[in-house]
Structure formats: C-alpha cells, structure tokens
Amino acid sequence: MLSVTLPPVPETGSARLPTRTELGVWRSFLRAHARLTRIMEAELIAEQRLSLAAYDVLVQLAEAPQYRLRMTELADAVLLSRSGVTRLVDRLERAGLVLRERADGDGRGVVAVLTPLGLDRLRIASGTHLTGVTRHFAEVFSLAELEAFGRSCERLASEDR
C-alpha cells in the first residue's frame, strides 16, 4: 500500500496553505458545483437532448453581437479547450444549430454563428434550464443569501482581485 504524508493543514490562516475551515468550504463549493452540474446536465439531456455545454454555447452566441463569436472567444466564454469547443461546434453545426464563417477581415479567423433553428432550440431548452436554476439553486437560499453569494462569486470571478 502506498503511503502519502501530506503537510498538516494549519488551523489559522496562512499565505501558503488554507485553514481547515477554508479547505472545507472550498471542498463544499466543489461538491455543490459538481452536484448542480450533474443535475442540470441530466435534466437538459432527458428533456431536451442537449448537453449543458451545448446549451452554454447557444447562450453565449445568443448574447453576442449579431449572434456570433470567434471560436477563441467562445472557448474562453464556455471554459472549454479550443479543441473541445471545435468538436462541440461540429456537432451543433451538423444539427443545424450553429454555422461557421470566416471572420471579417481575417482569412484565418473563424466565427461561430447561431442559426435561427439554434435560437429556437435555445428558447425551448431555456424553460428546462431556468426551471432547474430556480429549483436546484435559487430556492435553496433566501434573497439576502443569494445577494451575498452573488457578491462573493463576482469577487472570485473578478480579474482585479
């Protein structure tokens, strides 16, 4: 049996290691994210035959100017690798939900464009997704807790920290 000795987790704050409390909260955050992602994915697939990642791509394109984003911007927005976004956009393109075009003024750049069918599919799938957001996330918290959690997440997502 392999034995691994880990450094002790300090009881108080440290510039290098989290406290037991901080580590516990971090792990709770990861478990909550994983659980919610699994639930939301399962609901979208069961009701809409659409993965959570595909739904996210459609949302990002729907919110972009002229329903279009460079593939690199799309990869950054959905937190997938460029190759992962390429494969996903391939599938969405075969389904007629997205198409690819050359970027204006750039012979090498490629943009993904949401099609009218993709927008319709997103509108339908949004019912499932938004119901899940309410049921599995929003209803778990009071308004004050949601507002505080939102501020915390904004701070975590900020590049200006």
pLDDT for 155 equals 94
Q: Would the CA dihedral through 135, 137, 141, 146 be positive or negative?
A: negative
pLDDT for 108 equals 76
DSSP secondary structure of 83-152: HHHHHHHHHHHHTTSEEEEEPTT-SS-EEEEE-HHHHHHHHHHHHHHHHHHHHHTGGGS-HHHHHHHHHH
pLDDT for 13 equals 52
pLDDT for 142 equals 97
> Of 46, 77, 45, whose CA–CA distance to 61 is shortest?
77
Cα separation, 108 vs 144, whole angstroms: 48
pLDDT in tens, the chain (161 residues): 565 556 665 566 547 899 999 999 999 999 999 999 999 999 999 999 999 999 999 999 999 999 999 999 999 999 788 889 999 999 999 999 999 998 877 667 899 999 999 999 999 999 999 999 999 999 999 999 999 999 999 999 898 86
pLDDT for 15 equals 79
- CA angle, corner 26, sides to 25 and 27, nearest 5? 90
Buried/exposed code over 5-39 (b: 16+ C-beta within 10 A; e: otherwise): eeeeeeeeeeeeeeeeeeeeeeeeeeeeeeebeee
Give the strands of the sheet with 68-70, arranged side by side.
68-70, 110-114, 98-102
